[in-house]
Amino acid sequence: MLNISSKPTSENVDLASYKAGKRIFNKDYYKALNKFLLVFAGLGLIILFLPWTQNVSGKGLVTTLYPNQRPQTIQSQIPGRIEQWFVQEGDYVRKGDTILRISEVKSEYFDDRLIERTSQQIDAKASSVKSYEDKVSALQRQIAALKKEQNLKTEQAKNKLLQSKLKVLSDSIDLEAAKTNIDIAERQFNRTQTLQKEGIKAVIDVEEKKVKLQEKKAKYISQQNKLLASRNSVLNAQIDLNRIEVTYADKISKAQSDMFTAQSSQFDAEVQVSKLENSNSNYRVRSSLLYITAPQNGIINKAIKGGIGGTFKEGEDIVGIMPANYDLAVETFVRPIDLPLIHIGEKVRVEFDGWPAIVFSGWPNASYGTYGAKVVAIENFISDNGKYRILLAPDETDHEWPNAIRIGSGARTIALLEDVPIWYELWRQLNSFPPKYYQPEGAKKGAKEDKKKK
């Protein structure tokens, strides 16, 4: 019942007569409570000045130290159809062991004798290349023979031209001699005629001289014809020389054209041979890809594409494998505000899921069940979860990590920083301030030395 009356209940009812009232209104009870509160306040005040180790905590997963030691999936470089499995999940395989056999799904690779037929095509094209080479050699010999024949014919024509020019010279001299003979015959005729008029020579002598004069004139005309014929021979020799040059130039050009055509066909055949050899090499490599093998020693985790007859595309995951040998590591994530506090080689405490541990983040020496680690890599770009990834390796100077740890299990990390009073840590947490900026011991020593030099 609510006490809403203006008169207090204690005036009408004696509360001390009740058991609860006796305990409440007992003065000894107040003294014990005050002592407890006083002791508690003293302890709290002392605790506020106790040292507290600042830390940067994070959550992560167990992984491997090197990328080639991490679990991976095996893909096929070509699309195919599963025909036969040689392993099952959990089997240990060595590098190069066959995991499964597949078959082609593209029609252009269905021929079982594809490599053999391609080799035959290569041989045929190689023979064609050899034939073109022989044809080019024959045409080269033909061109050389034509050039040699052209040189001989040209020399012959030049000699004929020279003979014709000498004949013209000879006929010119003969013509001058015939002209001189005419002059002599005319003088003799005139002298004989004069003597005949004087009665010294007979008429018959005049007639003989006249006949000789006519013979000399006829011989002169004949010599003129010979000179013209010789000059015509010179022109004909020049024409023959030009005709030889033009004729053989045409023959040589035609032979060179045939040779270039044969060379072009030879080069085209060589290109086709090269393409066929490339295709044949690709077919051989592709045939070896019909057997998917293990890239390294490991254990088959999971058959992603199971069954027989299932098809898949190139690059599609088929089976997962876990490397047999690996070095454990932990990848953890820290907030961007805490990233400047993390340095390579820094000590970190790790708590693994499934391993009992008693952790006092502010008093690492009092913690139990944590393992030592050190920072080996810091990611320079933020991850999808809005934090930065830190890679931790086991600390050789600390306890060994448990052998039963499996890759992918969870882990909690604590990176230890400066020692501060508890009141300072509470004040920092309430105000959301970052931990006291921390520098590695090497950096501290370097800073102190710089101060001393100054």
Concatenated DSSP letters of 57-82: EEEEEEEESSGGGS-EEEE-SS-EEE
Q: In this structure, is the dihedral angle defined by the CA atoms of residues 359, 361, 363 and 364, taken in order, positive or negative?
A: positive
C-alpha–C-alpha distance, residues 263 and 260, integer Å: 5
When the pLDDT of each residue in the chain is averaged and rounded to a whole number, the result is: 81
Neighbouring residues of 289: CB distance < 8 A, sequence distance ≥ 6? 76, 77, 78
User: Does residue 256 lie in a domain region?
Assistant: yes
Angle at 95 between CA 90 and CA 97, to 5 degrees: 70
The reply to whether 335 and 303 lie within a common domain is no
- Position with higher pLDDT, 349 vs 4: 349
Q: What is the pLDDT of residue 420?
A: 66
The reply to whether 59 and 142 lie within a common domain is no
The reply to whether 392 and 406 lie within a common domain is yes
| SS3 of residue 323 by DSSP | strand
User: Does residue 136 lie in a domain region?
Assistant: yes
Choose one of 288, 307, 341: the last residue of a domain. 288
Neighbouring residues of 154: CB distance < 8 A, sequence distance ≥ 6? 241, 244, 245
Choose one of 323, 346, 369: the last residue of a domain. 323
Residues linked to residue 394 through DSSP beta bridges, in sequence order: 373
> What tokens were used for 17?
């007569």
pLDDT at 340 over 50: yes
Calculate mean pLDDT across residues 229-238. Answer: 84
The reply to whether 432 and 312 lie within a common domain is no
User: Does residue 27 lie in a domain region?
Assistant: no
Q: What is the CATH number of the domain that holds 342?
A: 2.40.30.170
Q: Among 32-46, 55-69, 425-439, whose mean pLDDT is lowest?
A: 425-439
Calculate mean pLDDT across residues 69-90. Answer: 90
| Domains of the chain: total | 3
Concatenated DSSP letters of 113-137: THHHHHHHHHHHHHHHHHHHHHHHH
Residue 362: name the closest of 442, 444, 423 by CA: 423
Q: Quick check: 370 and 321 in contact, CB under 8 A? A: no
The reply to whether 263 and 361 lie within a common domain is no
Q: What is the pLDDT of residue 446?
A: 47
The reply to whether 318 and 399 lie within a common domain is no
Neighbouring residues of 233: CB distance < 8 A, sequence distance ≥ 6? 164, 167, 168
> What tokens were used for 203?
């008429």
Question: Tens digits of per-residue pLDDT, 98-126?
Answer: 999 999 998 888 888 888 999 999 999 89
Question: Tens digits of per-residue pLDDT, 135-185?
Answer: 999 999 999 998 898 888 888 888 888 888 888 788 788 878 878 887 887
Angle at 362 between CA 357 and CA 363, to 5 degrees: 65
Q: What is the CATH number of the domain that holds 148?
A: 1.10.287.620
User: Does residue 19 lie in a domain region?
Assistant: no
Q: What is the pLDDT of residue 358?
A: 57
Q: Which of 3-12, 103-112, 218-227 has the highest mean pLDDT?
A: 103-112
> What tokens were used for 384?
């999808």
Q: What is the pLDDT of residue 30?
A: 59
Share of the chain above pLDDT 90, in %: 18
User: Does residue 20 lie in a domain region?
Assistant: no
Q: Quick check: 75 and 304 in contact, CB under 8 A? A: no
Choose one of 277, 306, 323: the last residue of a domain. 323
The reply to whether 382 and 430 lie within a common domain is yes
Residue-range definition of the domain harbouring residue 301: 72-104+290-323
C-alpha–C-alpha distance, residues 160 and 158, integer Å: 5
User: Does residue 44 lie in a domain region?
Assistant: no
Query: Which residue type, as a one-letter code, is found at position 72?
Result: Q
Q: In this structure, is the dihedral angle defined by the CA atoms of residues 382, 384, 385 and 391, taken in order, positive or negative?
A: negative
Calculate mean pLDDT across residues 256-277. Answer: 91
The reply to whether 132 and 85 lie within a common domain is no
Calculate mean pLDDT across residues 425-431. Answer: 71
Q: What is the pLDDT of residue 235?
A: 87
> What tokens were used for 107?
């029609």
Buried b / exposed e over 147-177, threshold 16 CB at 10 Å, is eeebeebeeebeebbeebbebbeebeebbee
The reply to whether 124 and 269 lie within a common domain is yes
Q: Which of 355-364, 371-380, 414-423 has the highest mean pLDDT?
A: 371-380
If pLDDT is split at 50, 70 and 90, which confidence band does 438 have? very low
C-alpha–C-alpha distance, residues 206 and 189, integer Å: 6
If pLDDT is split at 50, 70 and 90, which confidence band does 11 have? low
User: Does residue 94 lie in a domain region?
Assistant: yes
The reply to whether 234 and 182 lie within a common domain is yes
- Position with higher pLDDT, 47 vs 76: 76
In order of 60, 200, 273, 424, the CA distances from 405 in angstroms are: 14, 162, 57, 37
The reply to whether 212 and 230 lie within a common domain is yes
User: Does residue 388 lie in a domain region?
Assistant: yes
pLDDT at 88 over 60: yes
> What tokens were used for 319?
């089976």
pLDDT at 1 over 70: no
Q: What is the pLDDT of residue 138?
A: 92
The reply to whether 56 and 80 lie within a common domain is no
Q: What is the CATH number of the domain that holds 99?
A: 2.40.50.100
If pLDDT is split at 50, 70 and 90, which confidence band does 268 have? very high
Q: Kindly state the helix (H) or strand (E) to which residue 31 belongs, with its residue range.
A: helix 27-48
Q: What is the pLDDT of residue 53?
A: 66
Half-sphere exposure of 171 (CA within 13 A, CB side): 21
Residue 58: name the closest of 398, 369, 416, 428 by CA: 416
Calculate mean pLDDT across residues 6-14. Answer: 63
| SS3 of residue 16 by DSSP | helix
Angle at 130 between CA 127 and CA 136, to 5 degrees: 145
